[in-house]
Amino acid sequence: MPSLKEIKGRIGSVKSTLKITSAMKLVASSKLRRAQQAVQSMLPYERQLHTILQDLMTDYAAKLDLGKIAPSEGMGGAFVSGRGEIRRVALVALSSNSSLCGGFNANAVRLALETIRSYESAGAAVTVFAVGRKMSEAMRRVGITPEEVPFGDGTLDFVKLSEKPDYAHASALAGALMEGFVSEGFDRVELVWNHFVSTASQKAVRETFLPFALDPASGESGSEEARQGLFIVEPTTAYQVSELLPKVLKLKIFTVLLDSSAAEHAARTIAMQTATDNGEDLLQELTLDYNKGRQQKITSEILDIVGGSLK
């Protein structure tokens, strides 16, 4: 059994650690509230833009079928059309810049590496855009050099982008991905990040960014009016789609960054709460051991005194 001095030292160490984990939990919780508000404010806007784009393209297709209009350019074909053979893939993988957030980074890195291996086994070359210090370090450990994106007079700071998502930087990243896809530098662009489900749940997800799909999850194809080709669009549907589609794609990257940020703060809040709870349990056990040892020492001393007096 450890001495009372050793137990007392451990108790002091645990108390100091508890102060740190409690403070980190409060900071992460505060950041989580702001990140949640940012995501909740962005999602309705993104969904509405997505719905408008879906209705426009559905209305266009319906009018083509009815013979009301002739095919026109500018309907997003460069972003929507898939490639027959996937030879070059761009992967945008998101993580945090620091640890102490449970399995948040490990889950994202694992899914990113699985995605890379699946494409490489099929003979495709993968270019990685690593957003976040932990993702960049993980890629370099396996021999992958993350790609850089020109921005202003230098390059895009992916560490800063992970720490504090900004629309201007997100737009630059989305623009580089779209340019690479249109110029056929990439045949597909995929995203890997941790999706914020709830404070207690974050799920690593993988989603295709390009070629663009309207709404693969819901299976819907626009409103009833759009399916009947009843929309009146000025100046033209092609013009509206050509203006709206790049904005939707840029907004998608920004929303994913906000989503990953909220998931990170939620994961860190839970991790620090768990660490605090475990520390308090350990403190109780150490205090109990200390009190038992102290009582045993006092009892032993009393017995020595009593034994001496009997002599």
Mean pLDDT value of segment 282-296 = 86
d(CA 198, CA 272): 16
With the CA atoms of 193, 243, 166 and 177 taken in that order, what torsion angle do they form, in degrees rounded to the nearest 10?
A: 50
Q: What is the pLDDT of residues 111-162, one digit of tens each?
A: 999 999 999 999 999 999 999 999 999 999 999 999 999 898 889 999 999 9
Residue 68 has a pLDDT of 80
pTM for the full predicted model? 0.87
CA triplet 257, 177, 32: central angle to 5 degrees? 0
Contact 268, 101 (CB under 8 A): yes
Q: Which two tokens stand for residue 164?
A: 């504090």
Across 88-102, 213-227, 264-278, least confident range: 213-227
189 close to 90: Cβ distance less than 8 angstroms: yes
Task: Report helix, strand or coil for 81.
Answer: coil
SS3 92: strand
- The pLDDT, as a whole number, for residue 158 is 94
d(CA 129, CA 191): 9
State the Cα–Cα distance between residues 178 and 144, nearest whole angstrom. Answer: 22
Cβ atoms 159, 96 nearer than 8 A: no
**Radius of gyration, CA atoms only, the chain:** 28
Residue 263: is its pLDDT beyond 60? Answer: yes
User: pLDDT value at position 239?
Assistant: 84
Structure tokens that stand for 110 in this block: 């694992």
Which residues contact residue 31 at a Cβ distance below 8 angstroms, ignoring those fewer than 6 apart?
265
pLDDT the model gives residue 119: 95
Question: For the packed helices 4-66 and 237-310, what is the interaxial angle rounded to 10 degrees?
Answer: 170
What's the pLDDT tens digit per position in 31-87? Answer: 999 999 999 899 889 888 888 888 888 888 888 888 887 777 767 667 877 777 899
Across the range 12-29, mean pLDDT stands at 91
Report the distance separating Cα 79 and Cα 179, nearest Å: 10
- Token look-up 């994202």 returns 108
Q: Which has the higher per-residue pLDDT, 229 or 134?
A: 134
pLDDT score of 218 = 42
